[in-house]
Structure 1
Amino acid sequence: MMNRGKISFGKIGFNLGGSKATEGASTTPTLPRNDDVAKSTVASSGFGTFGKTSDENTSEPKEAEQGDMETVMGFSGFGKKAREFNLDALVDETRKSAIDRNRENIEKLKLKASEQEQGEGSLPAVPVLSDAQTPEANKSESDNDDDDDFIGPRPPPGLDVPRASAESESESEDEEQHKLPITHELVLEHGTKTVSALAVDPSGTRLVSGDVSYDVKYWDFQGMDQSKEAFRSFCPADGYPVNSVDYSSTGDKVLVVSGSQQAKVYDRDGIELFECVRGDMYLHDMARTKGHIAGLTCGVWHPRDKEEFLTSCRDGTCRLWHTSQPGSQKNVIKARAMNGLKTNPTTCAYNRDGMLVACACDDGSIQMWDHRKSFVNVAVNVKNAHDKGSDTSGLTFAYDNKGFATRGGDDTLKLWDIRNTKAAIHTKNGLFNRFPMTNCVFSPNDQMLITGTSLSKGETSGKLHVIDRNAWETVRELEVGPSHVVKIIWHPRLNQLMIGCGDGSVRILYDPKLSRNGAVLVAGRHKKRSKQAEVVVSQQVITPHALPMFREERHKSTRKLEERDRKDPVRSRQPDLPVGKAGSGGRVSAGGSTLSSYIIRNMGLRNKVHEEGDPREALLKYAKEAEENPYWVTPAYKRNQPQPIFQETEPAVKEGEEPATKKAKH
């Protein structure tokens, strides 16, 4: 008969011949061996045996010796038998404890409900769950937990939950869902014109703004104090308003789209990287040109690819560009109206995963193309989405990629389902808009839709409209500043609202409890003090044993040294003082700083004729000197007219007669 030998890992040994099972070997693998073969094998080997032997006489001293050795070596516990668990008993015990706890919770709920509804009648009978109806618990609770802290299953259908608590819970959920970070405000002064473009990098550390007065400014939240000044400002295209700015998916590049034909790409610090090429305006086919030939309207980066961006233009095309080839576009997309003629895109956008390229046109249509295919056939075409001739100013996709919203120039806001675009799901009217850059955005939780309105006649402030996406009800109307609301950004990481206004300011709304970084960092800083100019004094070498003529005086304070240098005209660089009356070396006296003023103030004063008395007498007193010593006129007429001839005096004219000089000649 064959016996199974067993290997024991508990006591570092194995028995190949014994029929008796060793301790701790219930689950160990076995090797089939014959007793005779095992005995002959052990006897023939010269290494002895491993573990216990089959000899009963020598088993006890060997076991004692082995136990002492295991204690000394430190592995006496390795051979203990594994603890056995009865799973069926544990499941039954857990099931019973869960049933008892459910019964206790139901009774407590019954008592609370009866206390609240005293005087209104008794509660209906509450059915008690049986063992078959009660679900089995997957995990048992500890016995030390309190019953009040235990969260059991839902109450049975027969037990009514108080309505007040249910309503309060639903209201709290709605408040949490529609909570807006609008408790605080930070104003950045961009300029005096309308802020038409706004963008924040993905990390939320920098903000870029552009206005209709051709300027673009960079703002850094981490390096900004309460002075709130931009660290860089430039003009991308003089004479053209800035229509759009956008950060790439990694935040290392900024796309600036102005009203010119060429878009520009800048780095994070505002250094221009390249400029897109301009197309040939004399070509009829727009696919043959290398770039746009009319004014740009919008531009966005690809949400996944950091090297690709999209631009829309009034030449009837949208073009895809790659940063490695700024000399020519990557693809050309032609927008067509219902009659087949070209139509001009007013805004463009990617969906959230970049699979769709969309644009809104001035004929009121919304057209989308599949990015994975050729841009010939339109994948989605929504005709008459807005009024024809009105510029659709905003097009944005929801975070779930199932819906999108459009902000029209016809004073409407529409919500669409991309799976069924025959008609809009919801429409909001009466939202006045006068800017072709006004946009709309979804909240980070995708439950709200936000847009702004312009000032109409009689209004004093622009409004921010917050609309519930599901119920399509206005959650909040917030007045923002004394001007229009044009551009809106709700950054999901900062949880802050950036609003570009018509008065040239960028207003940032935030809540210190809900928002993080961004404007919160700026509001907590103080204004940096301007450093006063400090006088740098050269280091002095102290030589105590030098000769007196080479020894430098040791000054304990710089104030005395400055006073001494001030008295020295050479060290203080004192300018030359004005000289006396004569002047020398090109310098004039204190009478004047120029030569003409010097002559007027000095030479004129020296020969000044006092106007006191009769001027005729003042001149005649020099007549005798002029006759005796003639200098100017008399020597010139000395030869040809020694005797001067003066004009004779005319006789007096009687009244009523004309003088002889005025009588008519006959």
Structure 2
Amino acid sequence: MDPNRMDEGKSGDGDISSVMGFSGFGKKARTFDLDAIFEQTRRTAIERSQHALEERQKTQKEGGGESSTSVKASIHTQRNKPAAATSRKQESDSSSDSDSDSDSGLIGPPPPPQHTAQHDDDDDEELVGPPLPPGYTGSTAHSDEDDEDDDDDDDNPVKKIPDTHEITLQHGTKTVSALGLDPSGARLVTGGYDYDVRFWDFAGMDQALQAFRSLQPCECHQIKSLQYSVTGDVILVVSGNAQAKVLDRDGFNVMECVKGDQYIVDMANTKGHTAMLNSGCWHPKIKEEFMTCSNDCTVRTWDLNSDKKHKSVFKPRSVQGKKVTPTCCTYSRDGKLVAAGCQDGTIQIWDRNLSVHTKFHCRQAHTPGSDTSCLSFSYDGVTLASRGGDDTLKLWDIRNFRKPVNVATGLTNYFSMTDCCFSPDDKLLVTGTSVKKDEGNGKLVFFDRTSFQRVYEIEVTNASVIRCLWHPKLNQIMVGTGNGLAKVYYDPVKSHRGAKLCVVKSQRKEKQAETLTQDYIITPHALPMFREARQRSTRKQLEKDRLDPKKSHKPEPPVSGPGRGGRVAAHGGTLSSFIVKNIALDKSDDSNAREAILRHAKEAADNPYWVAPAYTQTQPEPVFAEESDEDEEADKEPEWKKRKI
């Protein structure tokens, strides 16, 4: 073969290698025996662990007062050594191979200089392993204590009650009978016996705690229930009339249920309720469906998109098959069951898709004639809590619905909408108590779900506690009272957002206008000489008016008395003085009309102003007849006209 061609091939390979960035062609990558490396690493780790254990035993024998902290730290260090030993072994092998091979034998980019410096520092140190976490101090005593505290909190649900702080929202002066909180916890809506519905925005409020909107959606009807839908975009308003309403987040009307025909006997054949509503709630899964119960002895479900007729009808019945008025209603957590508490003391539960016969029925849940004020399902969907008008709170297992699991008595209830609810962890049950005026304080009572013992109480105010909500996301408790207050209990550590957003905002000062400015009138078709200049800013206009001496001049006060400052007091400043001056002191007698007119004849002749100048050339001189005795006699009535007596 021609040597020149061989030289050209070599030079070509060099050019290609320089262009492509390769150090050569045809060289194989180094291979490692992984099994041997792992075996060597294991042996090294065992030896170092034994050595560290011997040193630790010697140290304990010499100074027996050493704490367990250093022991645990050394164990932690020794546990981290094998991985580091492996890396050091690989580095030593790679360094020996790199020394034997040429620089052109290395595959890939060279290691950064920081990498080599770090390994040099590791060689100088005795401890080998990954760096310790930043919060690690070598001691586990504190972590053990924290774990014990967490265990205590898990065992004792009372410590999770957020009641260290509270804020008070002034709804009005009458009973707050309805509370609603949207799923995100950003807005609260309250309703009461004063027919008002108030909207509260936690993110938009300051320390003044003022509602941003107040309205009366149902005119002169008390608000019975308020609830946000599962998506939080609409609100169900149940009041004392027969038609429920749905409002949007800003309070505008979205839907109003139709009213049924009250002259039809079978309530299933009417399109809507015919009597006062008692309660209502949204479906927990379907955002367009909600339910209401009424004094017409029916429970009806509705579709938000169809306001002409109800969706389905449930008719509670007594033992004799007679009509029974439902006082409260609710869905189960999965939305498959519909429960209603009735005036005869029964609790009746239907399958949502089968409205004829009840699925679960308890005939003597509460005292007959007492209004069951609330039904609430637990988060597991098996347990049902009922708040009765007979001053009791009962816990039921719907799988064995004949008798209650637990009963709490002595809980005074004067309202037909007193709430009960479960805590977010499903371990506590909360309800409110009622009091008469000036006879004590209303309380928020907490019961342990398992033992049903009264584990905690909160004295809210000197009025009844009616509504209560425990929001799972915010971990805050909202309470509605009988004196027009809505209170929010929270904990700065355990709670999130909600009331914590508004208590940190300082109260905004209202800007008071110093002067009243003239309204700006827009006249687009006016001539330029009559067109007013557009007011860019009220503040600039006030500054200009302040510099104007006429507009900023203080008006002179009225002078009273004899006068002061060179000014003479004017008479007739009051109505009485004006009457005295112009009417009472007028001596002229207007009984004779002719004399009253001729009284101004001389002045009119001397100073003609209106009519005389126009007729100076053509107007004849007026000639008036003179009065005589004959005229007086003529004025007298003749004898024959006098009335004869």
Question: How has the CA–CA distance of structure 1 residues 534 and 480 changed in structure 2, closer, same or farther, with 3 Å as cutoff?
Answer: same
Give the secondary-structure state (helix, strand or coil) at the position aligned to 2:477.
strand
Quote the residue 1:486 is aligned against: 466
What is the CA–CA distance in structure 2 between the aligned matches of 1:264 and 1:325, rounded to whole Å? 13
Structure 1 counterpart of 2:447, from 448, 467, 476: 467
Q: Show the counterpart of 1:631.
A: none
Counterparts of 1:233 and 1:557, CA distance in 2: 36
Q: 1:327 deviation in Å?
A: 1.3
CA deviations over 1:175-209 (Å, ceiling 9, x no partner): 56632211111111111111000001111111111
Q: Give, in whole Å, the separation in 1 of the partners of 2:557 and 2:514.
A: 23
2:301 equivalent to 1:316: no
Rounded to whole Å, the distance in 2 between the matches of 1:179 and 1:76 is: 68
Q: How does 1:3-18 map to 2 (within 5 A)?
A: none
Aligned to 2:272: 291
Question: Deviation string for 1:131-174 (max 9, x for gaps)?
Answer: xxxxxx9x98876378998999xxxxxxxxxx999986643433
1:267 aligns with 248
Matches for 1:227-266 after TM superposition, within 5 Å: 227-266=208-247
Which whole-Å CA distance do the structure 1 matches of 2:37 and 2:347 have between them?
65
Aligned equivalent of 1:656? none
- Aligned partner of 2:365 among 366, 370, 385: 385
Asked if the contact 2:436/2:463 (under 8 Å) is kept, the reply is no
Deviation at 1:238, TM superposition (A): 3.3
CA 230–170 in structure 1, closer or farther in 2 if over 3 Å, else same: closer
The answer to whether structure 1 residue 522 and structure 2 residue 506 are counterparts is no
Shift of 1:485: 0.5
Question: More helix by proportion, 1 or 2?
Answer: 2
Note the C-alpha offset of 1:526: 1.7
SS in 1 for 2:243: coil
Tell me, which stretches of 5 or more residues in structure 1 are unaligned?
Answer: 1-57, 117-136, 153-162, 539-554, 578-587, 608-634, 641-666
Distance 1:63 1:479 in 2: 96
Query: 1:80-123: CA deviations, max 9, x gaps?
Result: 2565533995799499979x79x98xx99xx9xxx99xxxxxxx
Q: Within the alignment, does 1:375 sit opposite 2:355 as a pair? A: yes
Q: How many residues align?
A: 486
C-alpha contact 1:454 1:486 (8 A) present in aligned 2:
yes
Aligned AA (1:352): R
1:396 and 2:376 are equivalent in the alignment: yes
Deviations 1:244-272 (A, max 9, x none): 01111111111110011111111111111
Q: Conserved in 1, the CA contact under 8 Å of 2:546 and 2:552?
A: no
Distance verdict in 2 for CA 1:492–1:636, change over 3 Å: farther
**Aligned equivalent of 1:497:** 477
Amino acid at match of 1:377: H
Tell me the residue number matched to 1:511: 491
SS of 1:476 mapped into structure 2: strand
User: Who is 2:152 aligned against?
Assistant: 171
Q: Is the 8 A contact 1:181 1:495 kept in 2?
A: yes
AA in 2 matched with 1:561 = L
- How far residue 589 of structure 1 moved from its aligned partner, in angstroms, is 7.8
The residue identity in structure 2 corresponding to 1:188 is L
The equivalent residue for 1:563 is 549
In structure 2, relative to structure 1, the CA distance for the partners of 1:80 and 1:465 (3 Å cut) is same
Higher deviation after alignment, 176-185 or 198-207: 176-185
Find the residue that maps to 2:550 and give its secondary structure. Answer: helix
Contact 2:375 2:420 in 1 (8 A): yes
Q: Which AA in structure 2 matches 1:468?
A: D
Q: Using the alignment, how far apart are the partners of 1:94 and 1:356 within structure 2?
A: 66
Which of 156, 177, 184 aligns to 1:196? It is 177
Distance 2:440 2:195 in 1: 26
Match of 2:129 among 140, 144, 151: 144
Residue in structure 1 matched with residue 35 of structure 2 by the alignment: 86
Structure 1 position 464, deviation (Å): 0.8
Counterpart of 1:73? 20
Residues 583-618 of structure 1: CA deviation (Å, up to 9, x unaligned): xxxxx983445xx874356433567xxxxxxxxxxx
AA aligned to 1:563 is P
1:320 to partner: Cα distance: 0.7
**What one-letter code is carried by the residue in structure 2 that aligns with 1:144?**
G
Instruction: State percent identity of aligned pairs.
Output: 42
Q: Which moved more, 1:360-369 or 1:166-175?
A: 166-175
1:590 counterpart (572, 578, 588):
572
Q: Which residue of 1 aligns with 2:401?
A: 421
Q: Secondary structure at the match of 1:432?
A: coil
Write the deviation string for residues 339-370 of structure 1: whole angstroms up to 9, x where unpaired: 22221111111112212111111122212222
Deviates more, 1:490-499 or 1:61-70: 61-70
* 1:207 aligned to which of 164, 182, 188: 188
Q: In structure 2, what residue type is equivalent to 1:355?
A: K
SS in 1 for 2:548: helix
Distance verdict in 2 for CA 1:195–1:86, change over 3 Å: same
Task: Report the Cα distance in structure 2 between the residues aligned to 1:429 and 1:501, rounded to whole angstroms.
Answer: 21
Shift of 1:74: 3.5
2:342 matched to which residue of 1? 361
Distance 1:560 1:246, change over 3 A: closer
Q: CA deviation at 1:456?
A: 5.1
Task: Judge which range, 448-457 or 68-77, deviates more.
Answer: 68-77
SS at match of 1:565: coil
What is the alpha-carbon distance in structure 1 between the residues aligned to residue 318 and residue 422 of structure 2? Answer: 29
Which of 300, 310, 317 aligns to 1:329? It is 310
- Report the CA distance shift for 1:532/1:475 in structure 2 as closer, same or farther (over 3 A): same
Once the two structures are superposed, residues 467-505 of structure 1 have per-residue CA deviations (whole angstroms, 9 ceiling, x without a partner) of: 122232222111001111100011112211110001101
The superposition leaves residues 554-579 of structure 1 with CA deviations (integer Å, 9 ceiling, x where unpaired) of: x99736633233569xxx9x9999xx
Asked if 1 retains the 8 angstrom alpha-carbon contact of 2:437 and 2:463, the reply is: no
Normalised TM-score (structure 2): 0.65
Partner of 1:599: 579
* Structure of greater Rg: 1
Counterpart residue type for residue 86 of structure 1: D
Check the 8 A contact 1:177/1:447 in 2, yes or no.
Answer: no
Q: What is the CA deviation profile of residues 388-436 of structure 1, one whole-angstrom value per residue up to 9, with x for unaligned ones?
A: 1111111111112122211111111112223322222221111111111
Kindly provide the amino acid, as one letter, of the partner of residue 73 in structure 1.
M
Unpaired stretches in structure 2, ≥5 consecutive residues = 66-78, 85-127, 520-540, 560-569, 588-633, 640-645
Q: Residue 260 of structure 2 corresponds to which residue in structure 1?
A: 279
User: 2:139 & 2:500 partners in 1: Cα distance?
Assistant: 39
**What is the Cα-based RMSD across aligned positions, in Å?**
4.6
What amino acid does structure 1 have at the position aligned with 2:458?
L
Greater CA drift, 520-529 or 222-231 = 222-231
Amino acid paired to 2:20: M
Instruction: Confirm or deny that 1:340 pairs with 2:321.
Output: yes
Paired AA for residue 439 in structure 1: D
Counterpart contact for 2:42–2:82, Cα < 8 Å = no
The change in CA–CA distance for 1:228 and 1:165 in structure 2 (over 3 A counts) is: closer
- Measure the CA separation in 2 of the matches of 1:336 and 1:83: 84
Q: Is the 8 A contact 2:224 2:278 kept in 1?
A: yes
- State the 1:65 CA deviation: 9.0
Partner of residue 593, structure 2: none
Alignment match, 2:387 = 407
Paired letter, 2:388? G
Does the residue aligned with 1:281 lie in a helix, a strand or coil?
coil
Give 1:313's aligned amino acid. S
Q: Classify the secondary structure of the residue corresponding to 1:480.
A: strand
Give yes or no for contact 2:324–2:343 (8 Å, CA) kept in 1. yes
Residue identity matched to 1:209: T
Contact 1:94 1:140 in 2 (8 A): no
Contact kept in structure 1, 2:283 and 2:289, CA below 8 Å: yes
